[in-house]
């Protein structure tokens, strides 16, 4: 049976019931699903501290979350990343409309190299998502990226629209270079200032979305993008 | 022995004891604070490049230095200085003259419209009033103007929020737009732009002009604050001129410039809300025999900055912090700290040397 590898962190966890439903009884019934936690703070900090996947042929080693895991990526007919795990509110906080030069410099190395600073938490991270580069050429079929949901909070709404657009452009350019299909989110999910509408958020959570959100994403964005393998 | 007015004065009143036979690293009686800067005091900073040291050291000691235009968190820290972030309370770059400071506020309030503020070089566009904050320029003149409009809103907010304004007087020499009187921080043709002697002329400010400009600045800032008073800490940059356009010798021009600025600072020092901190005297102290300067006799060495800051923070009740400005920035090796210190300030006027060749 054909297989799809699903990668990501907390957003993958929120979308997982819907993914399993699609594999069990829905549009992805011709495929088996396998999940691999490549995101989340633990993996981010691991890669930020120098942790790297090793590769033998098409087999990649584990990460901080699943150190003993070995996955043969050639065995998959597609891979889907749920979230790139670097959200634009990490790169831009507040309402300063930075110049195009500064924005370009800021995003130049997204999402593979470069550091970003979270001043509120006093944390410095590298925005490193190695699997986005490493996995696609090893998978037997196409790779898809669903971007992180836009946060619902005002803090993200205050970020000037050109900055959000620049971030989006950088991600799509990167995906084009890396041979990844970037899945654009349906516009109905967003407010005018680019936030996800609050009705789609989990209760008391500005970053993670509910089943209704993922239904819209699947039905109107991801599944149409996956027609090439369906 | 008859009485005289010098009898009983402290050692610091006498050149021999206070200077000639005194360590240039230690000072008693050189600076007595007029008021204490509290950690919660909202401090705004501006001035010539030496002022960058003051801002950075205040931040390193956890004083509340306003940052109205913070860098995006994704911008690598090593680029912050290059793009003018975190250098002063707003991203205005170096403000060398009192007229430049005054015009900034006048522009922010709509009382003055500077002319020829977009300079071009190799198809890129620069803000003539802060040309160094975007070292690669911007793709369009309109973006320069849009960035400036936002910058001015930040300046207004800074003036409204600040409790203390720290300003380092840097130069008397400037370049002036003939028709409008707009003062540029650098000569057109250095970082960008084109020098047209019919449009831009050399200006060397005198005592009365600088005093009036500072007075006007203080009045306008108070007006912007709805009449609320604020405190001012003045310093004079000890960094000599890189070059003079006065037609005279650079040594003579430097002495004139610093003398005038020091005299202006002394004039304002008598006001209860204005203090003067003698960083200029500490660095230029003859007892130091030039040791606070690098081999170019212009750039201030790390030991000089440290000595200045020790005097300042001793007076303000904050012990010299192990988190000095040098140690708060990442360095690969300890020996890399001192020699690079002066390179970590942005001085547009230093570019003159390159462009003069």
B138 touches chain A (CB under 8 A): yes
Please give the Cα distance from B37 to B43 (Å, whole number): 9
B76 touches chain A (CB under 8 A): yes
pLDDT of residue B342: 36
B134 touches chain A (CB under 8 A): yes
pLDDT tens string, chain B, 357 residues long: the values are 578 999 999 999 999 999 999 999 998 889 999 999 999 999 999 998 778 888 889 988 989 999 999 988 788 888 899 999 999 999 999 999 999 999 999 999 999 999 999 999 999 999 999 999 999 999 999 999 999 999 999 999 999 999 999 999 999 999 999 999 999 999 998 888 889 999 999 999 999 999 999 999 999 999 999 999 999 999 999 999 999 999 999 999 999 999 999 999 999 999 999 999 999 999 999 999 999 999 999 999 999 999 999 999 999 877 655 444 433 332 222 222 222 333 356 665 555 554 454
B160 touches chain A (CB under 8 A): no
How confident is the model over A180-200, as a mean pLDDT? Answer: 96
Contact B232, B164 (CB under 8 A): yes
Closest-approach residue (CA) in chain A for B148: A99
Which of B59, B74, B329 should one mutate to test binding to chain A, selecting the residue with the greatest count of A CBs within 10 A? B74
Instruction: Give the pair of three-digit tokens for residue B238.
Output: 């000890």
Compare CB distances from B150 to A92, A93, A97 and report the shortest one's residue: A97
Compare CB distances from A101 to B70, B71, B134 and report the shortest one's residue: B134
pLDDT at A158 over 70: yes
Compare CB distances from A118 to B73, B136, B138 and report the shortest one's residue: B73
pLDDT of residue A69: 94
A115 touches chain B (CB under 8 A): yes
Q: What share of chain B is helix, strand, coil (3-state, %, to 5)?
A: 40, 10, 50
Which of A101, A120, A162 should one mutate to test binding to chain B, selecting the residue with the greatest count of B CBs within 10 A? A101
Question: Under an 8 A CB cutoff, do A91 and B134 touch?
Answer: no
Instruction: Give the pair of three-digit tokens for residue B294.
Output: 């690098």
- Residue written as token pair 């600025």: B261
B79 touches chain A (CB under 8 A): yes
Measured at the alpha carbon of residue B351, what is the angle toward residues B298 and A104, in degrees to the nearest 5?
Answer: 125
Which of A99, A112, A121 should one mutate to test binding to chain B, selecting the residue with the greatest count of B CBs within 10 A? A99
The phi, psi pair for A227, rounded to 5°, reads -60, -30
Contact A65, A40 (CB under 8 A): yes
pLDDT at A92 over 80: no
User: What CATH code would you report for A2-228?
Assistant: 3.40.50
B349 touches chain A (CB under 8 A): no
A156 vs chain B: nearest CA distance in angstroms? 13
| Residue scoring higher pLDDT (B21 or A46) | B21
């Amino acid at each position: 049976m054909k297989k799809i590898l699903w990668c990501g962190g907390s957003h993958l966890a929120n979308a997982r019931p819907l993914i399993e439903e699609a594999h069990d009884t829905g549009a992805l019934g011709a495929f088996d699903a396998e999940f691999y936690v490549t995101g989340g703070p633990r993996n981010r900090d691991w890669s930020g501290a120098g942790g790297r996947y090793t590769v033998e042929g098409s087999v990649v080693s584990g990460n901080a979350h699943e150190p003993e895991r070995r996955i043969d990526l050639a065995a998959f007919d597609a891979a889907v990343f749920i979230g790139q795990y670097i959200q634009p509110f990490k790169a831009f906080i507040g309402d300063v409309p930075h110049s195009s030069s500064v924005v370009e410099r800021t995003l130049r190395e997204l999402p593979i190299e470069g550091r970003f600073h979270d001043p509120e938490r006093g944390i410095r991270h590298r925005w490193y998502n190695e699997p986005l580069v490493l996995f696609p050429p090893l998978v037997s079929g196409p790779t898809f990226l669903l971007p992180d949901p836009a946060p619902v909070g005002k803090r993200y709404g205050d970020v000037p629209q050109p900055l959000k657009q620049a971030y989006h452009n950088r991600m799509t350019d990167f995906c084009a270079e890396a041979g990844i299909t970037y899945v654009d989110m349906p516009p109905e999910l967003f407010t005018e200032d680019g936030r996800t509408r609050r009705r789609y958020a989990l209760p008391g959570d500005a970053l993670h979305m509910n089943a209704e959100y993922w239904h819209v994403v699947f039905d109107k964005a991801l599944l149409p993008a996956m027609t090439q393998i369906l | 022995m008859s009485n005289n007015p010098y009898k009983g004065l402290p050692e610091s009143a006498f050149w021999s004891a206070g200077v000639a036979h005194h360590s240039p690293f230690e000072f008693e009686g050189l600076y007595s604070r007029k008021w204490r800067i509290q950690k919660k005091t909202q401090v705004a900073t501006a001035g010539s490049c030496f002022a960058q040291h003051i801002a950075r050291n205040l931040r390193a000691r956890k004083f509340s230095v306003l940052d109205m235009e913070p860098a995006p968190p994704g911008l690598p820290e090593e680029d912050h200085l290059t793009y003018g972030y975190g250098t002063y309370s707003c991203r205005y770059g170096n403000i060398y003259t009192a007229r430049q400071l005054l015009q900034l506020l006048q522009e922010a309030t709509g009382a003055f419209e500077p002319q020829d503020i977009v300079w071009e070089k190799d198809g890129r566009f620069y803000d003539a009033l802060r040309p160094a904050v975007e070292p690669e320029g911007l793709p369009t003149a309109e973006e320069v103007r849009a960035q400036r409009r936002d910058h001015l809103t930040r300046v207004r907010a800074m003036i409204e929020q600040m409790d203390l304004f720290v300003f380092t007087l840097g130069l008397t020499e400037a370049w002036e737009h003939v028709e409008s009187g707009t003062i540029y921080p650098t000569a057109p043709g250095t970082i960008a732009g084109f020098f047209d002697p019919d449009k831009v002329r050399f200006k060397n400010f005198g005592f009365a002009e600088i005093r009036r400009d500072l007075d006007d600045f203080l009045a306008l800032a108070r007006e912007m604050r709805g009449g609320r008073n604020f405190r001012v800490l003045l310093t004079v940059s000890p960094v000599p001129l890189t070059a003079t356009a006065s037609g005279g010798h650079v040594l003579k021009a430097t002495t004139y410039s610093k003398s005038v600025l020091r005299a202006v600072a002394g004039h304002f020092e008598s006001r209860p809300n204005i203090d003067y901190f003698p960083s200029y005297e500490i660095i230029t102290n003859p007892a130091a025999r030039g040791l606070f300067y690098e081999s170019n006799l212009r750039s201030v060495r790390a030991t000089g900055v440290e000595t200045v800051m020790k005097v300042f923070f001793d007076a303000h009740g904050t012990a010299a912090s192990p988190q000095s400005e040098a140690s708060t920035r990442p360095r690969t090796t300890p020996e890399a700290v001192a020699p690079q210190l002066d390179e970590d300030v942005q001085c547009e006027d230093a570019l003159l040397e390159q462009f003069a060749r």
